Amino acid sequence: MDFTLDDVQREIADLASVVLRKELDPDRAWRALADSGLLALALPAELGGDGLGVAEVTMVLTEVGRAATPVPAFTALALGVLPISRLGSPRQRAELLPGIASGDSLVTAALHEPSAPLVRRPATTAVAVDGSWSLSGTKIGVPYAATAAKILVPASVLGGTGVFLVDPHAVGVTLTATRNSSGSPECTVGLAGVRVEETDLLEDRQSGEAIATLHRFALAGAAALADGTLAGALELTTAHVGSREQFGKPLARFQAVAQEIADVYVASRTLHLAAMSAVWRLSAGLDADADLDIAAYWLAEEAPKALALCHHLHGGLGVDVTYPLHRYYSAVKDLGRFVGGTASRLDKLGELVG
């Protein structure tokens, strides 16, 4: 495996970094990402995109994490653009993707059910009724559900599973705002006999490959975003302990401080390697499930511990809301919850060797 970025990927990462460090206001940063074409990388050429894939999209997510900019890039790209580009019909792609690329609309995904993160056999059901579908069930932790143009909703159908495009304001949909660490919009979505047309069912309804593809893109995006987030927190903390003096010398020169910052470095580099391995295999069309599970476990188990060390090394400054460290910590906590938490990810790893 060669994880060296090619010229296109390096240019994407550099451009995203410049945009995000120039525009500190989230709304302006989001508009700048769209105007620079970074939200259109995976769109097909006929829709004004570059026809690129998951490897290039995750370059953007990593830089969003590194800057800790609170924009809906993960939702738009990992939960919207990538799965629709792969699974959507030509009509669905033409209807939904240009709006996401322009920054004017979002598509999100409802991947979790009560006590069942990233559920593979949903309790939510879809029943064929008079040439359409009727969906019933409950989804939790759905990002940007209230403002999304559509929600990708996995549901069990007769003989398998399907992924449906649901209007969040359709009759039978209830949206209940829920809290998270970062304060970004999130809802519990209730579905009570919601009617969905046949044309709003993504391809491959029976084999379960659609829901598996949706999960793979979600995990790859989460790992890439967390990779950048932890790297950004490490940079921030390294700069702090290198410049803050105590007893007449920089904090970084104290052995205990040096050991703790080294622990954060090890966690950051390991998450980076795990994320890059998973994305590389996914982009190459190889079986990436094991690598994604490893990256998700490291995210859930080790990234929050590393951020706790960053807080410790900052002292009281770390909890000041005018200082950026809290954005990194809250982002990592939300991502760890999104992938299911440590126990859930450990169960997934156990299935690999069971």
Q: What is the pLDDT of residues 206-224, one digit of tens each?
A: 567 899 999 999 999 999 9
Question: Smallest Cα–Cα separation from 56: which of 283, 226, 219?
Answer: 283
pLDDT at 325 over 80: yes
The rounded distance, in Å, linking the Cα atoms of 61 and 218 is 12
- Which domains, ranges and CATH numbers included, belong to the chain? 7-106 (1.10.540.10), 109-200 (2.40.110.10), 209-353 (1.20.140.10)
The Cα–Cα gap between 269 and 245 comes to 27
Identify the band that residue 276 occupies on the pLDDT scale cut at 50, 70 and 90.
Answer: very high
Residue-level pLDDT at 192:
98
Binning the chain into helix, strand and coil, the percentages to the nearest 5 are: 55, 15, 25
Model pLDDT, residue 319: 82
Short-list 9, 18, 2, 70, CA closest to 41: 9
- pLDDT score recorded for residue 194: 98
Residue 177: beta bridge partners?
187
Q: Which two tokens stand for residue 66?
A: 């590194």
pLDDT at 1: 63
69-107 confidence digits (pLDDT tens): 999 999 999 999 999 999 999 999 999 999 999 999 999
Confidence of residue 242 (pLDDT cuts 50, 70, 90): confident
Angstrom distance (rounded) from CA 288 to CA 116 = 22
Of the listed ranges 1-5, 105-109, 145-149, 199-203, the one predicted with least confidence: 1-5
Give the C-alpha distances (Å, rounded to integers) separating 251 from 104, 241, 317.
Answer: 46, 5, 14
Query: What is the reported pLDDT for 302?
Result: 97
On the question of pLDDT at 136 being above 70, the answer is yes
Model pLDDT, residue 147 = 97
Higher pLDDT among residues 332 and 316, named by residue: 332
- CA end-to-end distance (rounded Å), the chain: 27
* pLDDT at residue 125 in the model: 96
For residue 182, give the 3-state DSSP assignment.
coil
Burial class (CB in 10 A: 0-12, 13-18, 19+), 226: buried
Q: Is the pLDDT of residue 63 over 70?
A: yes
Is residue 33 pLDDT above 70, yes or no? yes
Prediction pTM value = 0.95
**Beta carbons within 10 angstroms of residue 266's beta carbon:** 12
Rounded Cα gap, residues 165 and 78, in angstroms: 16
Quote the pLDDT of residue 249: 77
pLDDT at 251 over 90: no
CB 50 within 8 A of CB 36: no
Which phi-psi region, left, alpha or beta, contains residue 133 (left: φ > 0; alpha: ψ -120 to 50)? beta
Give the model's confidence band at 243: pLDDT under 50 very low, under 70 low, under 90 confident, else very high.
confident
Pairing of strands 186-197, 173-177: antiparallel
Kindly indicate the confidence band of residue 204, based on its pLDDT and cuts at 50, 70 and 90: low
Ramachandran angles phi, psi of 165, nearest 5°: -95, 110
Selected residue with higher pLDDT from 350 and 15? 15
How high is the pLDDT of residue 90? 94
Chain Cα centroid distance, residue 16 = 16
Q: How distant, in Å, are the alpha carbons of 48, 168, 345 from that of 171?
A: 33, 9, 35
What per-residue confidence (pLDDT) applies to 207?
A: 63
Quick one: pLDDT at residue 246?
77
The rounded mean pLDDT for the chain is 93
The whole-number average pLDDT for the span 304-313 is 95
Confirm if 341 and 302 have CB atoms less than 8 A apart.
no
Among 340, 339, 218, 209, smallest CA distance to 279 is for 218
